[in-house]
Amino acid sequence: MEEGKPSATAVICALVRAAHLLWDQPPKIFEDTLALELSGCESEAALKAQMDRLEAEVARTTNPDFALAMRRSVTAAVVTRSRYLEDEVGQAVRRGVSQYVILGAGLDSFAYRRPELANFLHIFEVDHPATQE
């Protein structure tokens, strides 16, 4: 972790959620409309450059095929995990659960994307102070 900056894993998850929303074919597994902004990228072009840089970095230490497979695997893991968790939270709220604690919240956008739950659900995000800032 760099002082005063979110963790690399938090940023990568935001990048991946943004890329999925912008570039993957429908139907979308998970739609995080705030991920691009949270990722620190000011545009779709900046997102593409950042994703390409990360893939190239992996390819340098492995090979291009592995880097592409890694990018696809990480995307699948991040978006399916996000979708699963939010579906489970929705079911929990219907059962009367009133608190949602996100440990290792990273750059999660749930509380901002789901303001309609504010009357029913107390959301607690826990992470490293620099990431939460």
- What does the pLDDT look like over 48-83, one tens digit per residue? 999 999 999 999 999 999 999 999 999 999 999 999
Contact 39, 6 (CB under 8 A): no
Domain ranges of the chain: 8-132
Does the pLDDT value for residue 28 go beyond 80? yes
**Could you tell me which CATH number the domain at 8-132 has?**
3.40.50.150
Q: Look at residue 130 in the predicted model and tell me its pLDDT.
A: 87
pTM: 0.91
Q: Look at residue 133 in the predicted model and tell me its pLDDT.
A: 82
- What does the pLDDT look like over 3-25, one tens digit per residue? 788 999 999 999 999 999 999 99
